[in-house]
Amino acid sequence: MSRFTRRERRSAHRVPREAVVRAWLAREHEGDPPSTASGAFDALLTENPGAAAFLWRDAPHACYRLSLSRARFDRLHVIEGPPELGWGALSPDGTVEGCARRIDRGDPDRLARTTGVDVPAIERLSRELPDDDPLVLSTRRGAVPWHVADGNHRAVATALSLRRGAGYEPRTAYLCVGANPILEPLLQRIRGLL
């Protein structure tokens, strides 16, 4: 937990990956989720294969439930993906805050057409009371940015509300810290040499 701030360390509690998968699947899936952990994981990958890909690509994970400080929230990045498509096209710098700035200055319908992101839905969410469903965030060991895997619309709506004068209520999030595919092999080679 070395990348956590002191406040985050106090609020962070380790949770099984299955708890994150089930919470995410409950938001995505109508009806009863599968009863087994592997069934829930398979259902989530079927329901949302792109966003959930980090769960198998960067395995194994250490997952935490924590409260995001305003400073951490302001540094969140949108889901990883091509910069010219979707969330990457909406955010000039890859951040949730970058999306909110662009929406605040632009035409929601035009932005929706050019990016493929449902910007009018973000506008609606920004005017409603924030929900308390946790965001799902991903990062890799040794990596700095935390990416929103699930909850991009809600995160950007919160950032848009903040830009328009709302007060910040700490967001709850699940953070999944995965293996670093570059760092891990390098560390193993160094250990082998020593």
Which comes out higher in pLDDT, residue 177 or 3? 177
Closest CA to 87 of 156, 28, 158: 156
Q: Is residue 148 part of a domain?
A: yes
Instruction: Give residue 65's domain range.
Output: 6-193
Mean pLDDT, rounded, of the chain: 85
User: Whole-model pTM?
Assistant: 0.84
Q: Cα–Cα distance between 69 and 7 in angstroms, integer?
A: 8
Q: What confidence category does residue 186 fall into, taking pLDDT thresholds of 50, 70 and 90? A: low
Instruction: Kindly give, in sequence order, each residue whose CB lies less than 8 Å from that of residue 30, ignoring residues fewer than 6 positions away.
Output: none
- How many domains does the chain divide into? 1
Q: What confidence category does residue 165 fall into, taking pLDDT thresholds of 50, 70 and 90? A: very high
Q: Is residue 124 part of a domain?
A: yes
Give the mean pLDDT of 24-28.
84
How does pLDDT run across 97-142, given as a tens digit for each residue?
999 999 999 899 999 999 999 999 999 999 997 778 999 999 988 7
Q: Is residue 126 part of a domain?
A: yes
pLDDT at position 2: 43
Give the mean pLDDT of 4-8.
79
Q: Is residue 1 part of a domain?
A: no
